[in-house]
């Protein structure tokens, strides 16, 4: 996990700098475009979680078995935010990422943990985004915010447990290399999706 944090650091910073995130933080994100992000994330999580659940790889199952599935949470949020605006480039980038995940899901399933690392790690920043989203759309409680409320007040304890499962399950340096490489690729693919979702939005969110 220390390698993942260190070796994906630049990619993580670059992703956070994409205009879509600034619009959420500034409280100016059109609700339909936010729903568009939920729609893309739902498609990605379906592909990833189906592949994780189907894998018979012992290391994959050791990490995945205690991880909270996001697909049901995203489905609930999409009921609350039903009118999704997804630009064509975001749709295409999402499709490309799904194809990429499927390309190694069976042949090299341990790489799935690189994708899972990035998406699971997003819950940490989600604590901040959650407040902005609730304020923008007048959300009280967790309804409409299920995705960003996956662990409630236990976000950090859950993240520490996830770290422990990763560290104890992946001891082979060659497998670690492949997971790190896939995590970097995940940030790149997510960046393409977010740039597509940023079309027509100001970098300052105004």
pTM: 0.94
Among the listed residues 180, 204, 168, 193, the one whose alpha carbon sits nearest the alpha carbon of residue 37: 193
pLDDT at res. 109:
98
Main-chain phi, psi angles of 73, to 5 degrees: -70, -40
Q: Which domains does the chain have, with CATH numbers?
A: 2-197 (1.20.910.10)
- Contacts of 15-19 with C-beta under 8 Å, sequence gap 24+, read 15/187, 15/190, 15/191, 15/194, 16/125, 18/191, 18/194, 18/195, 18/198, 19/198, 19/201, 19/202, 19/203, 19/205
| Mean pLDDT by groups of 10 residues along the chain of 206 residues | 96 93 92 97 98 97 94 96 96 98 97 97 85 91 87 89 96 96 98 96 55
């Amino acid at each position: 996990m220390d390698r993942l944090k260190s070796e994906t650091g630049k990619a993580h910073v670059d992703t956070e700098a994409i205009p879509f995130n600034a619009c959420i933080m500034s409280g100016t994100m059109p609700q339909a475009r936010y729903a568009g992000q939920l729609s893309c994330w739902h498609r990605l999580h379906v592909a990833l979680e189906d592949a994780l659940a189907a894998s018979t790889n012992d290391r994959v199952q050791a990490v995945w078995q205690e991880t909270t599935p996001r697909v049901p949470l995203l489905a609930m949020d999409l009921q609350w935010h039903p009118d999704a605006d997804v630009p064509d480039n975001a749709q295409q980038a999402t499709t490309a990422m799904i194809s990429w995940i499927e390309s190694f899901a069976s042949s090299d399933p341990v790489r799935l943990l690189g994708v899972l690392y990035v998406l699971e790690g997003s819950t940490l920043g989600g604590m901040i985004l959650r407040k902005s989203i609730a304020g923008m759309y007048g959300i009280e409680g967790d309804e409409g915010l299920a995705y960003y409320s996956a662990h409630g007040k236990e976000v950090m304890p859950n993240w520490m447990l996830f770290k422990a499962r990763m560290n104890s399950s992946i001891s082979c340096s060659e497998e670690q290399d492949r997971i790190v490489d896939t995590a970097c690729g995940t940030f790149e693919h997510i960046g393409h999706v977010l740039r597509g979702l940023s079309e027509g939005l100001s970098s300052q969110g105004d």
